[in-house]
């Protein structure tokens, strides 16, 4: 899905736009036991409740594509004959009226998700009449009915006791506390909305924490390995470079790699392409070749990337390189520089000691005080 397609679906989660008749789900206690089922009407329910619940479901479509939101791709074999895909289709095609499918779905989540304390599993079905666009921007007739399910796993927390003041007796009392719905920790949408059409070969996984892989959940719901979290992608990419290049991994080489990836991202932004920017081992190979890395080292790096990420796996540049900052660290000091000013930083060896050099063109403040340029 592209950012534009994602925004189009997110607009569905407004009371005046929504076509969701109800949200169903269950309440799970800290022992992973389902203690109650939920059926919450939306179209005829209390407007404030409807707005809050739609907002909670919309959270599953928040964050950045490639980080919080990850594509889950199904193979043709899975779509044809896998129990995981069949269950998702049963949920969608029954408009969440298949109780056996719902029970199986709840069980899969309770057995594969570890959340401290109580939580709720919420799932909704929406049918969106997708209108094609005329040249002048007006909507034409509906070209597709996009039916999808969206699910959220939300912690439920009890706030601490608080004092409330009653005017009737002019006294303080302990306010009654009820369980509060927290933002979703994990969720998904199925099928994907690609090219403004239904794509049953793909789902969109949401993770509030980009460091949590949710491996068991992905296996249970999708029959797929979990996407590598962005933090792990960066660590894996860094270790690949370090192990493959060894002593050749210089400060200037890292700076050049950072500059080239930043330029790739800027060119993609300027192109206004709706597609998510990704790079493969071929891109990495070209970048490193431009830095003067020899062919033997390039083969080693690309082979290692295939082994770590998957053969020709597409990666988001922002997951392997910090495109906004250029950081230089020692055990005692960290220097953070905006990406566009990376050339202000260099390293130098003086009398056998390595130094980080920072060019101070615009003056220097020490604890907020401007110091003299005089030596």
Look at residue 207 in the predicted model and tell me its pLDDT. Answer: 95
**What is the percent of the chain with per-residue pLDDT over 90, rounded to a whole number?**
61
* Least confident residue range of 1-5, 48-52, 177-181, 349-353: 177-181
Q: Is residue 141's pLDDT more than 90? A: no
For range 334-357, the mean pLDDT: 90
Q: Which of 353, 244, 246 is nearest to 308 (CA)?
A: 244
Q: Is residue 295's pLDDT more than 60? A: yes
User: Which residues have a Cβ under 8 Å from the Cβ of 346 and sit 6 or more positions away?
Assistant: 251, 356, 357, 359
Name the residue with tokens 């403040």.
365
Task: Provide the b/e sequence for 306-319 (b: ≥16 CB within 10 Å).
Answer: eeebeeeeebbbbb
User: Rounded to an integer, what distance in angstroms lies between the CA atom of residue 199 and that of residue 2?
Assistant: 13
Q: Is residue 138's pLDDT more than 60? A: no
Look at residue 267 in the predicted model and tell me its pLDDT. Answer: 93
What pLDDT band is residue 300 in, cutting at 50, 70 and 90? very high
| Per-residue pLDDT tens over the stretch 311-328 | 888 889 989 888 889 989
| Per-residue pLDDT tens over the stretch 40-50 | 999 776 788 99
Look at residue 362 in the predicted model and tell me its pLDDT. Answer: 78
| Per-residue pLDDT tens over the stretch 191-202 | 999 999 999 999
What pLDDT band is residue 135 in, cutting at 50, 70 and 90? low
What pLDDT band is residue 142 in, cutting at 50, 70 and 90? low
CB 164 within 8 A of CB 173: yes
CB 229 within 8 A of CB 213: yes
Look at residue 110 in the predicted model and tell me its pLDDT. Answer: 96
* Boundaries of every domain in the chain: 3-227, 228-323, 325-375
For range 177-183, the mean pLDDT: 84
| Per-residue pLDDT tens over the stretch 78-105 | 999 999 999 999 999 999 999 999 999 9
User: Which residues have a Cβ under 8 Å from the Cβ of 45 and sit 6 or more positions away?
Assistant: none
User: Rounded to an integer, what distance in angstroms lies between the CA atom of residue 5 and that of residue 128?
Assistant: 13
User: Rounded to an integer, what distance in angstroms lies between the CA atom of residue 3 and that of residue 274?
Assistant: 7
User: Rounded to an integer, what distance in angstroms lies between the CA atom of residue 56 and that of residue 74?
Assistant: 27
Name the residue with tokens 């206690």.
29
Q: Is residue 374's pLDDT more than 50? A: no
* Least confident residue range of 49-53, 153-157, 289-293, 368-372: 368-372
């Amino acid at each position: 899905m592209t950012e534009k397609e994602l925004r189009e679906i997110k607009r569905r989660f407004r009371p005046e736009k929504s076509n969701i008749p109800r949200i169903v789900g269950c309440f799970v206690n800290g022992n992973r036991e389902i203690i109650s089922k939920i059926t919450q009407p939306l179209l005829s329910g209390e407007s404030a409740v409807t707005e809050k619940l739609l907002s909670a479901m919309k959270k599953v479509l928040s964050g950045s594509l490639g980080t919080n939101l990850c594509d889950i791709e199904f193979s043709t074999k899975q779509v044809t004959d896998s129990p995981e895909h069949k269950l998702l289709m049963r949920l969608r095609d029954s408009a969440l009226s298949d109780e056996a499918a719902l029970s199986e779905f709840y069980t899969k989540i309770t057995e594969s998700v570890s959340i401290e304390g109580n939580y709720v599993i919420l799932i909704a079905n929406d049918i969106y009449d997708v209108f094609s666009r005329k040249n002048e921007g007006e909507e034409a007739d509906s070209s597709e009915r996009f039916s999808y399910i969206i699910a959220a796993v939300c912690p439920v927390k009890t706030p601490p006791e608080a004092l409330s003041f009653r005017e009737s007796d002019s006294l303080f009392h302990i306010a009654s506390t009820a369980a509060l719905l927290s933002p979703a920790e994990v969720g998904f949408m199925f099928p994907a909305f690609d090219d403004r059409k239904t794509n049953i070969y793909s789902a969109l996984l949401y993770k509030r924490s980009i460091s949590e892989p949710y491996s068991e959940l992905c296996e249970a719901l999708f029959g797929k390995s979990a996407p590598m979290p962005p933090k792990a992608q960066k660590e894996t990419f860094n270790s690949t470079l370090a192990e493959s290049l060894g002593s050749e991994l210089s400060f200037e080489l890292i700076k050049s790699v950072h500059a080239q990836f930043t330029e790739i991202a800027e060119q993609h932004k300027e192109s206004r392409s709706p597609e998510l920017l990704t790079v493969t081992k071929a891109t990495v190979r070209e970048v490193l070749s431009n830095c003067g890395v020899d062919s033997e080292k390039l083969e080693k790096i690309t082979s290692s990337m295939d082994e770590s990420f998957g053969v020709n796996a597409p990666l988001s540049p922002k997951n392997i390189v910090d495109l906004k900052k250029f950081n230089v660290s020692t055990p005692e000091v960290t220097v953070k520089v905006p990406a566009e000013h990376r050339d202000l930083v260099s390293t130098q060896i003086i009398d056998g000691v390595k130094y980080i050099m920072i060019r101070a063109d615009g003056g220097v403040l020490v604890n907020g005080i401007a110091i003299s340029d005089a030596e």
